[in-house]
Chains A and B, each alone.
Chain A
């Protein structure tokens, strides 16, 4: 035993796997790295289920796009992970049209501050993302303008 307690050692391992932390002492590097990559693949699949249009729009580039964004970034749940990624792609100007429409619809339906769980909007709202415009009234969301192709 190293003499340090289990809680601290578990925290080190999680940090190495999802938060860009160093490999904790004594662990074999290759299997832990394989686990880190497998975890990113699994997360990419989970986020794709919550953001099907965003993932579909990126197609073959989805796993690498997601992994590039998510590496070193612990999950906040698949819904928020996809939301944060979509917003970042929007900021970079690389959000594909289908993803922009999905994001606009989500923004119209829910208020998301980027720090806590999204909450359904009670009031009517209009949201824009990447040229797409969506409106929400009484909980129903409609795309008013598709994103330019």
Chain B
């Protein structure tokens, strides 16, 4: 398997033209739920595949952290998208998005408890059994904690990764957001995570609202997040880093500037 490498960007229909025009680009990520495995690929994605650009499907609705078993149809969809894109791996979150038949419409945090570890591990194994490629797991950003955590974040994540053999999709913006909102030392967390298991890294912008740092993906990447990219690369440079932008798309020059800043912080070649 040749996984993603260098600097990439989240492919979204709104910026497909911008992404297609990046000469050095070697990988992108697409939200898996927006791709129909049997149908034609979205305009622009097929062209990127034709250029040899790696496309990683990124699931957001699997609910691997749900107490109920993961929906086999959703796993089959993710597997189908991976096959349709010839992807070397897929990714999903350590989170739940529905419970009791109600959709949250968002990634929600789990208690850092043994019971939650067991639920995630069971669902990840169910998914891995059906997926044609490795799965990378992404810890999420959240504004609140559950009242009964038994483990800290590093132990919680490491237990899940050890039990499943899954790769790590580390989001440094999530690390920053969690440190702002829930406390903890972001650099200290980097010291304790299995950085050798990182498949790639997410970087995104956010903003302060009402005393909380919101990981909006619609704001510029703050300096603190780029500092964290440098901290991470000082310890162990991940194979790839990806900029996520999900709305309020800025002019192309600003988006290029964000990609260049990511290249500068990581030491990877510029893709613009």
Contacts and interface: CB of A to CB of B under 8 A. Distances in A.
Interface size bucket, B side? 20 to 34
Nearest to A1: B148
Contacts of B116: 6
Interface stretch (B102-110, B185-193, B196-204): B102-110
Contacts of B144: 27-28, 31-32, 34-35
Interface stretch (B38-46, B93-101, B264-272): B93-101
Interface in B133-185: 142-148, 181
Interface string B5-34: 000000000000000000000000000000
Contacts of A14: 98-100, 102-104, 108
A117 to B, nearest CB: 13
Contacts of A87: none
B17 to A, nearest CB: 17
The listed residue with most A CB atoms (<10 A of its CB), out of B103, B143, B148, B210, is B143
Interface size bucket, A side? 20 to 34
Contacts of B119: 6
Nearest to A32: B144
B96 A10 contact: yes
Nearest to B182: A31
A13 B145 CA distance: 11
Nearest to A5: B67
Contacts of A27: 144, 146-147
A34 B210 contact: yes
Contact of B99 (A7, A34, A35, A38): A7
A10 B147 contact: no
B66 to A, nearest CB: 7
B99 A10 contact: yes
Interface string A47-85: 001000000000000000000000000111000000000
A38 B107 CA distance: 12
Contacts of B194: none
Given A13-B108, A19-B102, A2 B146 contact: no
Main secondary structure of the interface of A (DSSP, over half): helix
Contacts of A38: 143, 209, 212, 214
Nearest to B118: A6
A76 B104 CA distance: 10
Given A10-B100, A14-B98, A39 B105 contact: yes
A6 B67 contact: yes
A50 to B, nearest CB: 12
A25 B106 CA distance: 21
A113 B115 CA distance: 40
Contacts of B143: 31-32, 34-35, 38
Nearest to B150: A1
A2 B143 CA distance: 22
B96 A26 contact: no
Interface in B29-82: 66-68
A13 B218 CA distance: 26
Interface of B: 66-68, 96, 98-100, 102-106, 108, 111, 113, 115-116, 119, 142-148, 181, 209-212, 214, 218, 247
Interface of A: 1-2, 5-11, 13-15, 17-19, 25-28, 31-32, 34-35, 37-39, 42-43, 45-46, 49, 74-76
